[in-house]
Structure 1
């Protein structure tokens, strides 16, 4: 069982785009999300931690996880206290990437684990209207190290099994 209890997609300025959160005042939650987002952006800036992409809060009765969803949208998930946090992140990041594609008008490419930040030419001018992951220079793609092995000179073939 996944133990997800609610979901809320909002614009970074606090407008509700979609929601399924029984028992939650969605307009108030959206407005608070925008306020917290502005504070998180300032905190990340002054601490030099880079562009925020997600925020997790653990309360007495569960989790609230917020993910960047494209350039100007935020996905907030509510989950029970016993949730598998790794799975919540996996599904939250995947859903946020897809929502970002839909809202930003992108193509239906496979979702990425983290949405890319905006380039400096398209970044919003105020922190209060920027989604996590939406402020900062375009990050260079991470290079995946490629391990090469020296050629075998003794004429032996490579082993077929590993222990």
Structure 2
């Protein structure tokens, strides 16, 4: 998964985004399989939103492929009280923004796309470093004269 330092950087990006766009009520970065990477979503269950984002992403990817529209870039849902916008964030993450109904949608897209690109760079580079890091060698457990977890066989 994403190392803690990058997770903190992603959270910082989400908080800066919410400060720049006052009508954002929440921001969440998740893996494409629905795991929360970082969130700034007061009053919203982040894990549930991340799982729903993954489901919506799956449908969106199928729609873009079925209609020949290329790879997934973004999804916009408008409800009675506002918007939910999801943006691609690199190859393995997505950014979901919750916005009030009065938001300027053009500004939402501009800021969401920029933040998605920055978050994607952070997550993708962190995952590349993790994949390149060789696993730590396992040390064999110390030998003891008696097995303490399994009963001893009679001799």
Alpha-carbon distance, 1:103 to partner: 0.8
* Number of aligned residues: 106
Alignment of 1:2-151 (within 5 A): 2-105=22-125
Q: Flag structure 1 segments of 5+ consecutive residues without an equivalent.
A: 107-163
| 8 Å Cα contact 1:10-1:30 kept in structure 2 | yes
Q: Flag structure 2 segments of 5+ consecutive residues without an equivalent.
A: 1-20, 127-155
Which TM-score applies when normalising by structure 2? 0.66
Provide runs of 4+ in structure 1 moved above 6 Å.
Answer: none
Query: Over the residues paired in the alignment, what is the CA RMSD in angstroms?
Result: 1.2
- Which has a greater percent of helix? 2
Alpha-carbon displacement from aligned partner over 1:26-83 (angstroms, at most 9, x marks no partner): 1111111111111111111111111120000010000000000001000000110000
Which TM-score applies when normalising by structure 1? 0.63
Larger radius of gyration: 2
Alpha-carbon distance, 1:17 to partner: 0.3
